[in-house]
Amino acid sequence: MTHLLTRALDTALDRTVVPGYSKIGYWLRRPSWDADDPRPGSLTGKTVVVTGASSGLGQATATATARLGATVHLVVRDLAKGRTAVTAIRGEVPGAEVHLHRCDVSDLASVRAFAAALRGSAERVDVLVHNAGVLPPERTETADGHEVAFATHVLGPLLMTELLRPLLAAAGRSRVVVVSSGGMYAQKLPADDPEYRDGEYRGTTAYARTKRMQVALAPLMQERWAADGIAVHTMHPGWADTPGVVTSLPGFHKVMGPVLRDAETGADTVVWLAATEPAPGGGQFWHDRAPRPEHYLPRTRESADELARLWAYVLDATALSR
């Protein structure tokens, strides 16, 4: 009976959005997780790579996985901010082995250079966390000619994972965690316009559209890499108080600030997916340590043809084989 009540509460929180995505939902769910927490030292001897790791959820993920014993690689655009993050992590986790790399995930040449360098220096990658994110105020394109949110959230992570495939395979049973957003629930898969060339451009819409793409493509990525023992997970952190939210959504932050999760709480499911045993099945969408539906609105459901067309487009854009 207790289990059924816990599940009913969890579902009610998820469907009502504000309680479930805020810190209220986290703290109401938290008591049922105690026995499920990753054990101390569970990532000892393992290598974790986190993009967008200079602040917010990325830094919180890096800190938590270092605390569990991992060797952590921070992947950042701004090395000065990255050095500050490294100092902070080492201050919180004395003796932590932390490495810093520069990579602009939206720039495919930068992704290729980073991956080549890591393949030359690391023997394995046990966990790859795709956390780097942008919410552009206006439509801009990368040097490769791709809309910047699409490049950052979809193309860069796909290419990076493919290029790090040998290191992920070397780990035996590795995990890829893509940090998505609950905002994707309001968007349909834009299979005919992934670069957001049509209509009035809005940064919040571009962000949500590309987050929808991440979740929709995860089962195909899971299928692509499953033979190498790589499990692909997507998740959303709820509403977290991060520098990105403050900068990109100041109105939302002003109104919702009192109930926003802190970065550590937002990163909890990322860390759980990275460290929990037995490993969860790949290809699922997670929030607060539970798999969630990919759609709540019938109008957002994509057809098999739409998914196939988007998959073909991103493989062509990253010059990957089908």
The residues assigned a catalytic role are 207
Element (H, E) at 278: none
Cis amide prior to 258 (ω within 30 degrees): no
CA atoms within 13 Å, Cβ hemisphere of 211:
26
Q: What is the rounded CA–CA span in Å between residue 276 and residue 176?
A: 13
Give the three-class secondary structure for 97.
Answer: coil
**Residue 237 CB neighbour total at 10 angstroms:** 28
The residue with tokens 């201050």 is 91
Q: What is the rounded CA–CA span in Å between residue 221 and residue 29?
A: 30
Q: What is the rounded CA–CA span in Å between residue 274 and residue 268?
A: 10
Cα 192 from chain centroid?
A: 24
Largest CA distance in the chain: 57
% helix, strand, coil for the chain, step of 5: 55, 15, 35
Q: What is the rounded CA–CA span in Å between residue 49 and residue 248?
A: 25
Q: What is the DSSP string of 150-171?
A: HIIIIIHHHHHHHHTHHHHHHT
Q: What is the rounded CA–CA span in Å between residue 75 and residue 192?
A: 32
